[in-house]
Chain A
């Protein structure tokens, strides 16, 4: 291997062993036709229990008020906004894989794009739920988030980053859903033609919108797919930029910083790739997709994590430098307080998980070892969750006047909110892998060996 010259004119294989289109159909459809295994039921039981605990916490918050959780002045943004930012970030990896890598003609992304897009949709659902249900406190006033003609004659404040957020997240969800559904149409067509039961056939017929693999349709379809990828790319960058505006446009020390938009986007991609990698490691093992979602895919994702993790590490260092360089005593204090104050444990967990451990991916051995990368992926997710916690809680708990300082400590209901997100997300993922093709069959068929004409 080492002595062989690599032929760079040949694109690398997508799959480890040669597969035909028919193989792909059989492999990808298999989980949809089998009765779920015991492991799947146990996993679903666990995620549903976690979700139920979350629903209990949210119900109590709605009945009793936000005070049952640890929210209070000065830290009124603790767990729910942390979770919101975390889940929006998770979603970004999906769009990056499906849109940005598509525009860059990275063919390997076809094998994991469907799964990543599905994760985007579930993650944005979770994120939306955190701001509309838990953070509002009174969920029935949710309508005020949107501009609608009302008896007060009042409109929403278009100067507020929180309103930009409403538009960004809802647009992101809608466009991601359209993109995802567009990709699913040909696969629904295939499933319709392979369906053995009448009810399945009816469902897939309705979902496939009369798709018949006509090239007169493919030509429009491909063009629209390209256009949507083109729209989704600036969209995904705008979404986390706007999320970071929620912080950067306020004047709180530690938040009021121009580095926030790029720093947040890099962090979002970082945590999103960690989550996609973690879930794909499990799915490829569970459904025997190892030859389709290859070690090469995982390695590529680890490389992206190494890059974005180092960008995040650079941002951490630059924040400290700017705090010193600004000459503002409040900025300086906030960053010293992060590293040495009451939340120092969180700060140093964040730094080690996000910057230090991920450096292991410089080594090919670590990059290609499934158990090691799985552990690092989990650590990255923990680190990125804590990063948002550190940003929100340390800045809010000690701002300007020492007399208005406070300390946040989570209650049972805060952990309930936390589990609500994970419960909903993983329940959706489990249902997704059983009911929809988790690899884009048509897209994968178009890039396997021999799928396209040579020298046309």
Chain B
């Protein structure tokens, strides 16, 4: 034991009043490297020990500012620049909505980081070793006694004088505390290889388990991401039906909504007799007819229905629609040609809805009348 260097000389006191006076006298005697140990903070001790007010508040302020800055910058970057989304018709930077999150992040940074700062800077984490630990003195001050410990590194240190001094100010159980060999290197051990190793192991474990969870585990059963469902998809087999096919054709005679079958298949004259244009030649109808005509009809029939195809001979030209024959056809007869096709013209049933067919017919009548205007139309 004796080969170890001396750390400090300690004395114990019973009452808070005694320790306050003892600390005061120690300060007055000119000692600076000493410490008081008490099971709870005794009011007035900071003054007796001539300690300055703790600077931890400045850390909290700086960290809080940092948190606020981080939150506001990040939210602004996300909402203005990285992925701007219109939400509820508000401006991208609708700052009142950002107040709650910014406040929470400010409090989070200030509280957690200043706690860590205190533990690392003042408690010297991760250095747990200290000569006072595991001594009779420490076991007393952690329960109900108050202790004063004058360190050997004090410039005025003199073992004999101090022991006498402690006795005069009322100290009991005056003992000398020696360093254990492993405690000699006291001070910051944050960059100690051992501690960094522990941090590395923790970091590796956390990242490996995160990777496994997010990239592997989440794709094992029962996490099937709703891919497995009790329903039949198109082309799937099913044992429910005799033919083993999951997809079923509609029941015979089923009429799909909005698709009434054409009643005049192969009967152009009947179509001309019985089908009546349901639309009135209003401006909307004629506009729609023009638009559909230009899309579907004009490539072959020409923009003005003269039979002057826009296809430059890639496809046989149809006859003009201004002939007497077509002009004298009833509307239903033209409807039949669009529906069923004629000669080289295919059926336009899939492309043009019945209503649009009637609109096109209305427009064709306009074109015909424009080409064959009567005397009265010119007035």
Contacts and interface: CB of A to CB of B under 8 A. Distances in A.
Interface string B151-174: 000000000000000000000000
Nearest to B64: A231
A36 interface: no
Interface string B91-112: 0001001101101110110111
Interface in A187-219: 189-190, 192-194, 205-206, 209-219
Contacts of B130: 210, 212
Contact of B100 (A21, A167, A190): A167
A157 B40 contact: no
B37 A155 contact: no
A219 B129 CA distance: 21
A212 B138 contact: yes
Interface stretch (B50-58, B268-276, B333-341): B50-58
A20 B144 contact: yes
Contact of A217 (B49, B123, B144): B123
A174 B108 contact: yes
A163 B41 contact: no
Interface stretch (A117-125, A371-379, A397-405, A441-449): A441-449
A218 B45 contact: yes
B46 interface: yes
Interface in A401-441: none
Interface stretch (B78-86, B346-354, B367-375): B78-86
Nearest to B101: A167
Contacts of A245: 100
Contacts of B49: 215-216
B100 A140 contact: no
Contact of B143 (A21, A212, A220): A21
A179 B110 CA distance: 12
Interface stretch (A221-229, A265-273, A277-285, A311-319): A221-229
A220 B110 CA distance: 15
Nearest to B16: A453
A131 to B, nearest CB: 16
Interface stretch (A49-57, A80-88, A234-242, A324-332): A234-242
Nearest to B218: A140
A217 B4 CA distance: 26
B41 A63 contact: no
B85 A157 contact: yes
Contacts of A143: 214
Given A209-B119, A209-B128, A215 B112 contact: no
Interface in B221-250: 222-223
Residue among A63, A140, A212, A238 facing the most chain B CB atoms (10 A cut-off): A212
Interface string B2-34: 000000000000011100100100000000000
Nearest to A164: B100
Given A159-B90, A212-B130, A21 B118 contact: no
Contact of A238 (B46, B103, B132): B103
B122 interface: yes
Contacts of B16: 450-453
Interface string B321-357: 0000000000000000000000000000000000000
B17 A140 contact: no
Contact of B222 (A62, A175, A216): A62
B17 A453 contact: yes
Residue among A209, A238, A245 facing the most chain B CB atoms (10 A cut-off): A209
Interface in A130-177: 140, 143, 147, 153-155, 157-159, 161, 163-164, 167-168, 171, 174-175
A171 B124 contact: no
B100 A238 contact: yes
A454 to B, nearest CB: 7
Nearest to B219: A140
A345 B53 CA distance: 58
Contacts of B23: 215
A205 B110 CA distance: 27
Tell me whether chain A's interface is mostly helix, strand or loop, or mixed: helix
Residue among B36, B79, B107, B142 facing the most chain A CB atoms (10 A cut-off): B142
B214 A194 contact: no
A128 interface: no
A175 B112 contact: yes
Nearest to B46: A219
B112 A219 contact: no
A22 interface: yes
Contact of B42 (A193, A232, A453): A453
B44 interface: yes
B135 to A, nearest CB: 10
A186 interface: yes
B68 interface: no
B139 A453 contact: no
B54 A25 contact: no
Contacts of A62: 222
A158 B138 contact: no
A227 B56 contact: yes
Given A20-B144, A210-B130, A219-B46, A242 B38 contact: no
Contacts of B20: 453, 456
Interface in A292-315: none
A226 B112 CA distance: 14
A164 B101 CA distance: 6
A193 B139 contact: yes
A6 B234 CA distance: 87
Given A22-B144, A453-B17, A159 B94 contact: yes
B108 A452 contact: no
B114 interface: yes
Contacts of A153: 82-83
A442 B38 CA distance: 10
A235 B123 contact: no
Contact of A157 (B37, B87, B105): B87
A189 B128 CA distance: 12
Given A231-B111, A238-B103, A238-B104, 4 more contacts: A186-B40, A210-B124, A213-B39, A446-B41
Interface of A: 20-22, 25, 62-63, 140, 143, 147, 153-155, 157-159, 161, 163-164, 167-168, 171, 174-175, 178-179, 181-182, 186, 189-190, 192-194, 205-206, 209-224, 227-228, 231-232, 234-235, 238, 242, 245, 442-443, 445-446, 450-454, 456
12 contacts: A143-B214, A161-B100, A168-B100, A178-B111, A181-B115, A193-B138, A209-B128, A213-B39, A215-B23, A216-B51, A220-B56, A453-B16
7 shortest interchain CB distances as A-B pairs: A21-B144, A446-B40, A223-B54, A210-B128, A164-B100, A215-B36, A456-B44
